[in-house]
Structure 1
Amino acid sequence: MKNILILVNPSSGKKNSGDVAQIAEETFMARGWHCVTRITKQKSDIGKYTTEACAEKIDHLIIMGGDGTVSEALNALNGLSYRPIIGILPTGTANNIAIGWGMSTDIYKAIDQLVYANQEKCDVGEVNGHLFLSSLSSGTLPETVWEVSEEMKKAYGPMAYFLEGIKSLKDEKPYHFELTLDGKKFEKESTLLLIGVSHSVFGIPRFFSEANKNDGKLHLLSLDQTTLGDKMIILSKLIRNNEETGTMPSSVTIVSFEEATIDLIDDTAHVALDGEKGPDFPLNINVRSGYLTVLIPEKADKGFLFNKEA
């Protein structure tokens, strides 16, 4: 019999999480699974309940929340010898991690997806001791993360970040980075550095078209200073819902790696880590290959840009 802990963050975007958790618990118990629900009252409870789940060797930890909740739970696993199988019920403002795993943004459909999900290994990124499942970024576009108001989040959900990012395309500032990727050292001026763990970033299903969630690599995209027209071409290629992004303009560099050190020369910039404020430069980055076992639906949903349910 499976032992399941549903970890609920009621402060995540959707406010009916208690009702949804009850439906999820009843659905899982109807399958003959033993299920317990824990509702957090403060941020520290996420790590507390995750650690307790590991100590009790719970089979499945189902995280009900957004990217921030998933990230907190993930980092609570850091250094523990036992890690349960992880599933997500996406109820946050931004649910890029869950979307990258093919989870529906219709929470009731997502419950059914978990019932019939497959177990797959999943890579995790690490930067300065912090773990991440989606992306790390720095430059002009990540600055917009701090510009999105609570009103925009409530009105547009995850699209708020995308819309603010579109506005930022006309205003860019190049940053001087020093990078060492798998032992190869070089300098580069870029307006954006973005590192993804798998193919999906920002809910765009094939952002890194050649990547996979368990390929043992991290994937870097850098964007040079360029024209607005070029940037719109790049954006249109990235958000196409197909397997190939096609030939990118020369202002875009995409490369895969296992270990990296990145520093910012004579400047300051924000680092965004899974949509939250990240660590300061210099950045020491590596991949933890197959670190998690996660629940992936048999039939993946599309990303939020293409999903009418979102």
Structure 2
Amino acid sequence: MNRNVMIIMNPKAGKGNGKSALFTICDRFSKAQDHVHVYITQSKGHAITLSKELGPSHDILLCIGGDGTWNEVINGVLPLSTQPHLAYLPSGTVNDFASTLKISKSPEKLMDTIERWNPFACDIGLFNTRYFTYVAAFGIFTDVSYSTPQQSKNMFGKVAYYLEGMKQLANIPRYHIKLHVNGETIEDDYMFGCITNSKYVAGFTTVSTKHAQLDDGLFEILMIRTPNNPLDAQVIIAALLKREVNHDWMYFTTASSLDIESIEDIPWTLDGEDGGSTTLAHIENKNKAVTILV
């Protein structure tokens, strides 16, 4: 087909399964008479640089890695005036974004998908100046992904997130926040908030699953108030396990943009990676910002 194909692979993602898939993928592209260029990430942020500098000269950019690597590719591609079509082989620990789009971990099935050529225009989130693919979150449990050691992720998978999250139950945060959304302002104390464009977060089905569409220009927004005592916490946990919105303790809505304001700096996570701290977060949905082969 004589296409220029760029492959970015993170060899450290998950258990390193992407390495064994690389030959299968390169073989299939070569048989299709495509020109393949493989780049192995060497450090954090490397996939951003590679995507930004080399993406415009390629027809397809294929990412092999976890949610963090995929996030870097998105941040590299979004500013480009000429974007390649994107493809994704998830090889991380939980792969929330891929689960929502039902993207297979099989390299053969991925290549079958690329051959069928079914482009999907996907929404991307903008958090101040950084892009995210499926979640921006703050509060309890939100640093679990990047504080969980990679070795534990590889050995225990989702259970590793549970184990790390249990450590935080003894120290529930309380952030006083003003939420500006859909023309109204809501002010309260919250222990957790997430703005999602996914049916899964940390490998688990979210409360907002039935609302999640990746091309509707809307986020699903869930805020959980800080409990006053262990009984309140049990009520919140029960609702989360049932994937229900308890309106006494939760606020849920959908919106294309929002602002979250606080007096103190709030640490955020973007796609499971450290998103830095800020007192003002402007979050905007970039409708159908990238094209993914699914």
Measured after TM superposition, the shift of residue 292 of structure 1 is: 0.7
Hey, what's the Cα distance between the residues in 1 that align with 2:178 and 2:114?
42
Over the matched positions of the two proteins, sequence identity in percent amounts to 26
Q: Does 1:283 align with 2:284?
A: no
Measured after TM superposition, the shift of residue 164 of structure 1 is: 2.9
Listed as ranges, the matches of 1:293-308 within 5 Å are 293-296=291-294
Q: Does 1:218 align with 2:223?
A: no
Q: Does 1:39 align with 2:36?
A: no
Q: 1:140 to 1:286 in 2, by over 3 A?
A: same
Which range moves more in the overlay, 178-187 or 212-221? 178-187
Q: Is the 8 A contact 1:180 1:186 kept in 2?
A: yes
| Structure 1: gaps of 5 or more residues | 239-245, 297-310
Q: Decide which structure has greater strand share.
A: 2
Q: Is the 8 A contact 1:25 1:36 kept in 2?
A: no
Counterpart AA for 1:294: I
Hey, what's the Cα distance between the residues in 1 that align with 2:107 and 2:206?
23
Q: 1:110 to 1:166 in 2, by over 3 A?
A: farther
Hey, what's the Cα distance between the residues in 2 that align with 1:146 and 1:28?
34
Length, aligned pairs only? 287
User: TM-score, normalized by length of structure 2?
Assistant: 0.86
Q: Is the 8 A contact 1:199 1:213 kept in 2?
A: no
Hey, what's the Cα distance between the residues in 1 that align with 2:70 and 2:172?
31
Q: Which residue of 1 aligns with 2:49?
A: 48
Q: 1:54 to 1:142 in 2, by over 3 A?
A: same
Residues 46-102 of structure 1, C-alpha deviations (whole Å, 9 max, x = no match): 23321243331x222110111111111111123210111111111223422222221
SS at 1:270's partner residue? strand
Q: Which residue of 1 aligns with 2:31?
A: 30
Hey, what's the Cα distance between the residues in 1 that align with 2:269 and 2:5?
31
Measured after TM superposition, the shift of residue 197 of structure 1 is: 1.9
Q: Which residue of 1 aligns with 2:61?
A: 61
Residues 10-48 of structure 1, C-alpha deviations (whole Å, 9 max, x = no match): 232232533321111112333454433222333454233
Hey, what's the Cα distance between the residues in 2 that align with 1:23 and 1:233?
45
Hey, what's the Cα distance between the residues in 2 that align with 1:212 and 1:78?
20
Listed as ranges, the matches of 1:161-240 within 5 Å are 161-166=161-166, 168-169=168-169, 171-205=171-205, 207-208=207-208, 209-226=210-227, 227-238=232-243
Counterpart AA for 1:221: L
Hey, what's the Cα distance between the residues in 2 that align with 1:213 and 1:207?
16
Measured after TM superposition, the shift of residue 149 of structure 1 is: 2.8
Counterpart AA for 1:73: V
Q: Does 1:132 align with 2:125?
A: no
Hey, what's the Cα distance between the residues in 2 that align with 1:142 and 1:202?
9
Counterpart AA for 1:273: L
Listed as ranges, the matches of 1:142-153 within 5 Å are 142-145=142-145, 147-153=147-153
Q: Is the 8 A contact 2:236 2:246 kept in 1?
A: no
| Structure 2: gaps of 5 or more residues | none
Hey, what's the Cα distance between the residues in 1 that align with 2:91 and 2:27?
18
Q: Which residue of 2 aligns with 1:155?
A: 155
Counterpart AA for 1:85: H
SS at 1:88's partner residue? strand
SS at 2:242's partner residue? helix
